[in-house]
Amino acid sequence: MDAPPPPATIEFVEVGPRDGLQNEKTLISTADKLGLIARAVAAGARRIEVTSFVNPKRVPQMADAEAVCAGLPDRDDVTYVGLVMNARGAERALATGRIDQLGAVCITTDRFAVANQGQSSDESLAAALEIVDMARTAGRSGQITIAAAFGCPFTGRVAEDRVVEMAARAAAARPAEIALADTIGVGDPAQAARLVALVRDAAPGVAVRVHFHNTRGTGLANVWAAVCAGARTVDAAIGGLGGCPFAPGAAGNVASEDVIYMLERAGVATGMDLAATIEASQWLSGVMGRTLPGMVARAPLFPEAIEGA
């Protein structure tokens, strides 16, 4: 049997300014966050998760959400996403006037939902539906991420039926898209392909985005499997930074430059400039003062420029 062909294009979403940085212990300056966002835009990113509007006591790294929004480049062609967990966060995000899309999150298990946002799983879904409504009422769009769709840091395996059920209920709110997130990086590519296909069936007409962490080295394989199964949009973070403050053991997002390299080399257009993304990753490594997890930015450029060509 022939494998399904990969798509000609995907949409790339840079999540480094939010998911990449949120778990860093050292506070990154607003100027450096804006530097990262400007580099992402220059590298071709047209949708960027720029910050989250959460309780600064819970996530100190995101305490400057309003200041980040005030400094965003004025670009009509870039969709700025703000992550929000509840109506209060949605109000803050909308009040900035700079957030084009609200990103809402629901969580598959009660244990993780309580740890992450002090709600049951069902309550987290209800909050996400409300956020999508608030976005639409304000003339913005809203999307819903199903977190811990591939496994829970506290309870282990998550039934695919639960993910599908949540996706179907989420779809009823007509979000701009539904994302499947492997928050703790436990997923495998067969599971990724299966879940994307199941959610596409359960939520016809709703685009599927995927969000993988590379905690156990399966991130890129999962991206490939998900894309071939019909995921239209892929999240990644420059340098492969990332983690979740409320999910023990969660590590970096798949690195933007690694995802872009893999997809472009395989003939899937991402709209991103690999060399500029590598430069952004190397710049961020300087800001952080350490080597970042992404691999492509640490390898020789391929292909090298051909002499005389």
Residues that bind Zn ion (CB under 5 A): 19
At 106, give phi and psi (nearest 5°).
-120, 155
Nearer to Zn ion, 146 or 229 (CB): 146
Q: Is 35 helix (H, G, I), strand (E, B) or coil?
A: helix
Cα separation of 208 and 17, whole Å? 22
Closest CA to 113 of 133, 127, 132, 101: 127
Taking the complex as a whole, the smallest distance from the CB of residue 96 to Zn ion amounts, in Å, to 22
* Cβ 15 vs Cβ 51: under 8 Å: no
Nearer to Zn ion, 19 or 100 (CB): 19
Conformation bin of residue 308: beta by default, left when phi > 0, alpha when psi is -120 to 50: left
Both tokens assigned to 4: 């399904």
Taking the complex as a whole, the smallest distance from the CB of residue 40 to Zn ion amounts, in Å, to 16
Exactly one of 69, 152, 228, 244 is catalytic; which is it? 244
- Go through the chain and tell me how many residues it has: 309
Closest CA to 238 of 39, 71, 11: 39
Taking the complex as a whole, the smallest distance from the CB of residue 272 to Zn ion amounts, in Å, to 19
User: How would you classify the pairing of strands 47-53 and 79-84?
Assistant: parallel
Nearer to Zn ion, 140 or 209 (CB): 209
Closest CA to 100 of 74, 130, 124, 126: 74
Cα separation of 297 and 280, whole Å? 9
Taking the complex as a whole, the smallest distance from the CB of residue 298 to Zn ion amounts, in Å, to 22
With 0-12 / 13-18 / 19 or more C-beta atoms within 10 angstroms meaning exposed / middle / buried, residue 60 is: middle
- List all residues 6 or more positions away from 16 whose beta carbon is below 8 Å from its beta carbon: 36, 40, 236, 237, 238, 239, 241, 242, 253, 256, 284
Nearer to Zn ion, 14 or 19 (CB): 19
Cα separation of 172 and 180, whole Å? 16
Nearer to Zn ion, 231 or 276 (CB): 231
Taking the complex as a whole, the smallest distance from the CB of residue 242 to Zn ion amounts, in Å, to 6
Is 244 catalytic? The answer is yes
Angle in degrees, 0-180, between the axes of helices 160-171 and 189-202, rounded to the nearest 10: 40
Nearer to Zn ion, 212 or 224 (CB): 212
Name the closest residue to Zn ion (Cβ).
19
Taking the complex as a whole, the smallest distance from the CB of residue 204 to Zn ion amounts, in Å, to 26
Catalytic residues: 244
